């Protein structure tokens, strides 16, 4: 995966990037930032790039990528940087206690200690309240960067103590150009992935790299065949997907349902990559069934049974 060390390399997020560059130039770094916006539009990438700017031993304006500090950040082994993400469903208070211990002592090598919290909306109530204490009176050498897709799920007091940096959905053209230039996709494939991404470069890359369009085609084909054996085999295959891929699969399934409806009712263009077969049922009922299947998998109900049941209910 391409490492982005410089804020100037963040695509099409000028307002966010300019705000951060200005803070660097004026040496007015906030003690806590809250990066908010859709999934896969550069929030985590920008957060890491900001840390390169702060930690690089040779240039704050243009991180070198070759100093010891940059190399340690490349490998995520820098002693003054820690990245936090949910374990299973949420971020728990034990993790926040580890952060408290981490910031208790001054940096070992860098000017700051940086804490990057991904999916910050998944801080459970205890963890959120514990983190709030650190945000209220942080040591001068500590910088928190919280990344979230759902800012309204965060405690209002956490929001109020952070500088909000907003990231926007990316234009299809930007995503297409990136996929062609940096990921090596042909123009037709890149265009299709850009259409399906709904402004999220991360989503476009995941769809391509994880083969989820192929899984969607298999699901639709098996569902329409009415052959129990094919349905069972397909359900078994889908159940072997990595759990973190379920959400994106259901996103594609939902998109297929809605684009089928819009094509039938209003003649809207239909993305080439979606199955040729279109959904003929009631989209409201379909979305309810998809939501129930997602909930079932969240509660670890048997995946194979869940996918088979969904096929039966949708068709």
pLDDT by 10s per residue, the chain, length 315: 678 999 999 989 999 999 999 999 999 999 999 999 999 999 999 999 999 999 999 999 999 999 999 999 999 999 999 999 998 789 999 999 999 999 999 999 999 999 999 999 999 999 999 999 999 888 999 999 999 999 999 999 999 999 999 999 999 999 999 899 888 888 888 888 898 888 999 999 999 889 898 999 999 999 998 788 999 999 999 999 988 899 899 999 999 999 888 888 777 777 778 888 889 889 999 999 999 999 988 877 789 999 999 998 988
d(CA 104, CA 139): 8
Residues 15 and 159 in one domain: yes
Q: Which domain holds residue 226?
A: 211-314
In what helix (H) or strand (E) does residue 171 lie, and over which residues does it extend? none
Residues 204 and 238 in one domain: no
Q: Tell me how many domains the chain contains.
A: 3
Q: Tell me which of 152, 183, 209 is where a domain ends.
A: 209
Domain membership of residue 2 (yes or no) is: no
Q: Is 70:200 a contact under the CB 8 Å cutoff? A: no
Domain membership of residue 85 (yes or no) is: yes
Of 309, 181, 151, 188, residue with least CA distance to 239: 309
What lies within 8 Å, CB to CB, of 53 at 6+ separation is 6, 7, 24, 60, 61, 63
In what helix (H) or strand (E) does residue 110 lie, and over which residues does it extend? none
Q: Give the 3-state secondary structure of residue 78.
A: coil
Residues 154 and 239 in one domain: no
Q: Structure pTM?
A: 0.82
From start to end of the chain, where are the E strands? 32-36, 81-84, 113-117, 142-148, 163-166
């Amino acid at each position: 995966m391409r490492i982005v060390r410089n804020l100037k390399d963040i695509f099409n997020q000028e307002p966010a990037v300019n705000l951060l560059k200005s803070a660097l130039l004026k040496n007015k770094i906030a003690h806590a930032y809250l990066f908010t916006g859709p999934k896969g539009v550069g929030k985590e990438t920008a957060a890491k790039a900001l840390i390169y700017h702060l930690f690089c031993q040779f240039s704050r304006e243009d991180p070198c990528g070759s100093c010891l500090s940059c190399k340690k950040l490349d490998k995520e082994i820098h002693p003054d940087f820690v990245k936090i993400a949910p374990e299973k469903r949420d971020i728990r208070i034990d993790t926040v206690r580890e952060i408290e211990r981490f910031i208790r002592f001054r940096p070992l090598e860098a000017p700051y200690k940086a804490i990057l919290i991904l999916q910050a909306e998944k801080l459970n109530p205890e963890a959120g309240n514990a983190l709030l204490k650190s945000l209220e009176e942080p040591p001068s050498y500590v910088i928190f960067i919280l990344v979230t897709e759902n800012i309204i799920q965060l405690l209002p007091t956490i929001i109020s103590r952070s500088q909000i940096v907003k990231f926007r959905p990316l234009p299809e053209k930007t995503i297409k150009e990136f996929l062609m230039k940096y990921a090596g996709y042909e123009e037709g494939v890149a265009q299709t992935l850009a259409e399906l991404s709904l402004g999220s470069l991360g989503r476009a890359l995941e769809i391509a790299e994880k083969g989820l369009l192929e899984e969607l085609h298999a699901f639709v084909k098996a569902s329409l065949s009415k052959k129990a054996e094919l349905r069972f085999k397909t359900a078994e295959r889908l159940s072997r997907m990595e759990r973190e891929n379920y959400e994106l699969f259901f996103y594609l399934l939902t998109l297929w349902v809605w684009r089928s409806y819009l094509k039938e009712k209003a003649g809207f263009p239909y993305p080439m990559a979606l199955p040729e077969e279109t959904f003929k049922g009631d989209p409201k009922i379909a979305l309810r069934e998809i939501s129930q299947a997602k909930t079932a998998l969240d509660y670890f109900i048997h995946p194979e049974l869940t996918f088979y049941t969904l096929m039966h209910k949708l068709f």
